[in-house]
Amino acid sequence: MALSEIDQPSHGNARRISILGATGSIGKSTTDLIRRNRERFDVVALTANRKAEELAALAIEFDAELAVVADPDAYPALREALAGTQTEAAVGHEALTQAAGVDADLIVAGIVGAAGLDSTMAALGQGSLVALANKESLVCAGDLVLAEMQASGARLLPLDSEHNAIFQVFESENAGDVEKLILTASGGPFRTRSRAQMAAATPDQAVAHPNWDMGHKISVDSATMMNKGLELIEAAYLFPVAAEDIEVLVHPQSVVHSMVAYVDGSVLAQLGPPDMRVPIAHALAWPARMESAVTRLDLAAVGSLEFSAPDDERFPAIPLARAALMAGRGATVILNAANEVAVESFLDARIGFLDIAETVARVLDRVEGFEIASLEDFRSLDRESREIAKNLVKSAS
């Protein structure tokens, strides 16, 4: 898509925007930004899994055309709350995929997990801007996602703070002169904990992130550092850089959001407060800028910035993810499926914290991967991996 088309949204002056996962952490940061920049956006479609009342309230506030819940049990409440309004209510996986494909200038893909893949594909198929928070889409089907993007002429804008940072400082015209990408990681709530301490970690401790306020799944991923592993895979798809040239650096202050190193020795970084509204505002207004109302970064108050190499012994999820990325043949699908099952089981107190990465490693050992050439291939490998992971959890608990 040409920049001139992006500059001028197709309907009047406001950018037509849809939010998939409107009731989640990414969704809330997005609606907060829209609220503060009301004249710049027209809300088209909003979706949620099952929080019908919350979704209906947003649909009414923003006068959305369509509101969709994925869970059929939530539909009666949505229909009732939207009766007599301008917003159409719909339900189910198909309606959700359709909502993603409704004509919009920008679609925020803010669903968590592989459950977001079909809607990410539909959003890309529509051919406009897709602001991608749902990193699992790329982890599960990166090649298919990129192929869909190329076929439709859509453009991916990364919302993940690290990838958004890289996007802001990556000189596409000098892509061949990029030496490496450096993904920063806060280290999560257990950065300084021993394996023995982590073995006893509770779900409440794991979701209490020191810097970021996020959904439960990504919070646990941050605690195991699988989040950085998933982000390594995400970066390998988003940027034309070899997997071995993507590094991870622990940076507890979460001020430097990631970096790009060039052959001349220059390292470009994007800095900001640890607030997702910064990268989201960047994508919502791209290629322009808009006000985000975040607390400004005060480097004198931060004082010092620390960096260290990640500890692969205490955080085996990063090497597991890197190995899956290198292995190919669907290994990242297996990794993701096993991780989703293990995280859910940990949150339900059925396995311990260290069992999360252990389960992922075992499932990777047991499941035979294959090239993912279609969404059907993905679904079959995803299903098999989840089954094996669930059996391992059952026998462990």
Our CB check for Mg ion shows the closer of 105 and 162 to be 162
Q: How far is the CB of 28 from ligand NAD (least distance, A)?
A: 8
Q: How far is the CB of 212 from Mg ion (least distance, A)?
A: 8
344 is in the binding site of which of ligand NAD, Mg ion, none (Cβ under 5 to 8 A by kind)?
none
Our CB check for ligand NAD shows the closer of 9 and 112 to be 112
Q: How far is the CB of 276 from Mg ion (least distance, A)?
A: 9
Q: Does 135 bind ligand NAD (CB under 6 A)?
A: yes
Distance, C-alpha 156 to centroid of its chain = 12
Site string for ligand NAD, 97-116 (x = CB under 6 A): -------------xxx--x-
Restricted to residues 154-173, the positions that interact with Mg ion (CB under 5 A) are: 160-162
Select the residue whose beta carbon is closest to ligand NAD and give its number.
24
Q: Does 221 bind Mg ion (CB under 5 A)?
A: no
Are the beta carbons of 357 and 316 closer than 8 angstroms?
yes
262 is in the binding site of which of ligand NAD, Mg ion, none (Cβ under 5 to 8 A by kind)?
none
Q: Does 136 bind Mg ion (CB under 5 A)?
A: no
Our CB check for ligand NAD shows the closer of 50 and 362 to be 50
Q: How far is the CB of 332 from ligand NAD (least distance, A)?
A: 14
Which of 91, 130, 141, 218 is the binder for ligand NAD (CB under 6 A)? Answer: 218
Q: Does 148 bind Mg ion (CB under 5 A)?
A: no
Q: Does 156 bind ligand NAD (CB under 6 A)?
A: no
Q: Residues with Cβ < 8 Å from 40, sequence gap 6 or more? A: 13, 14, 15, 34, 284, 285, 290
Q: How far is the CB of 288 from ligand NAD (least distance, A)?
A: 22
Q: Does 261 bind ligand NAD (CB under 6 A)?
A: no
Distance, in Å, from the CA atom of 141 to the CA atom of 235, rounded to the nearest integer, reads 13
133 is in the binding site of which of Mg ion, ligand NAD, none (Cβ under 5 to 8 A by kind)?
ligand NAD
Q: Which residues bind ligand NAD (CB under 6 A)?
A: 21-27, 48-49, 51, 70, 96, 110-112, 115, 133-136, 160, 212, 214-215, 217-218, 276
Q: Which residues bind Mg ion (CB under 5 A)?
A: 160-162
